[in-house]
Amino acid sequence: MYKKFIVEFIGTFFLVFTVGMTVLHQPDGVIPPLAIGAILMTMIFAGGHISGGHFNPAVTLAVFVRGKIPGIEAVGYVISQILAGAVAAGVVLSLKGGPATGAAPAQLVPVLVAEFLFTFALAWVVLNVATAKGTSGNSFYGLAIGFTVLAGAFAVGSISGAAFNPAVVTGATLLGLLNPATIWIYFVANFAGGGAAAIVFRIVNDEAAD
């Protein structure tokens, strides 16, 4: 089981590291979503066959609700992911020379809506491309998942910063990109989005009771 935790650590580390390196001290634009979507895709393609390639506590929650990961293992996943997010933030800080300052508090309703919607989309895609019978054996799961984050980063990046992932929220907070006082909004929205996607998945997929 610890092998899966290593893989989750590696994938989440590179995800949050890429987030930090492309977002910190740099204006918004086309680069961060491309880079983040790409690294998530490649880490999923690399690690998916070992750990499932979650790299995201909200995804792990969704897979747990869907019934494809035991609770105890899910806890280990989340610990690995949060730890990797924190370590990645540390390495980014050492390379970039310090955190951002002055992150404004998040606005409750817009951030809640934006983060809920795209975490829902992300978990919806994960469950359908990586755990459904109808798509088993496909070669697109990493592409589909990574590019959901790419699309979401373009769509709501200006509203919420486009985390969709409590491990990314953890790293981004350490990097000074999110205001600590309001990150609870992200955690609520991300886990609610992941859980809701799992419920809808079970409604529309006949095999959901596997």
Contact segment (CB under 8 A) with a second copy among 17-25, 63-71, 174-182, 184-192 equals 17-25
Instruction: Lay out the site mask for a second copy across 82-121 (x = CB under 8 A, - = otherwise).
Output: ---------x--xx--------------x--xx--x---x
145 makes contact with a second copy (CB under 8 A): yes
140 makes contact with a second copy (CB under 8 A): yes
Contact segment (CB under 8 A) with a second copy among 31-39, 63-71, 164-172, 178-186 equals 31-39
- Give the nearer residue to a second copy in terms of CB position, either 128 or 179: 128
Which region, left, alpha or beta, applies to residue 55 given φ > 0 means left and ψ of -120 to 50 means alpha? Answer: left
Residues 6+ apart with CB under 8 A from 133: 205, 207, 210
Q: Cβ 68 to a second copy, closest distance in Å?
A: 16
166 makes contact with a second copy (CB under 8 A): no
DSSP letters for 29-76? SSHHHHHHHHHHHHHHHHHHHHH----SHHHHHHHHHHTSS-HHHHHH
Per CB under 8 A, which of residues 50..89 are in contact with a second copy? 50
Contact segment (CB under 8 A) with a second copy among 77-85, 150-158, 171-179, 182-190 equals 150-158
205 makes contact with a second copy (CB under 8 A): yes
Residues at the contact surface with a second copy, assessed by CB under 8 A: 3, 6-7, 10, 14, 17-18, 21-22, 30-39, 41-43, 45-50, 91, 94-95, 110, 113-114, 117, 121, 124-125, 128-129, 132, 134-135, 138-145, 147-148, 150-152, 154-156, 159, 200, 203-205
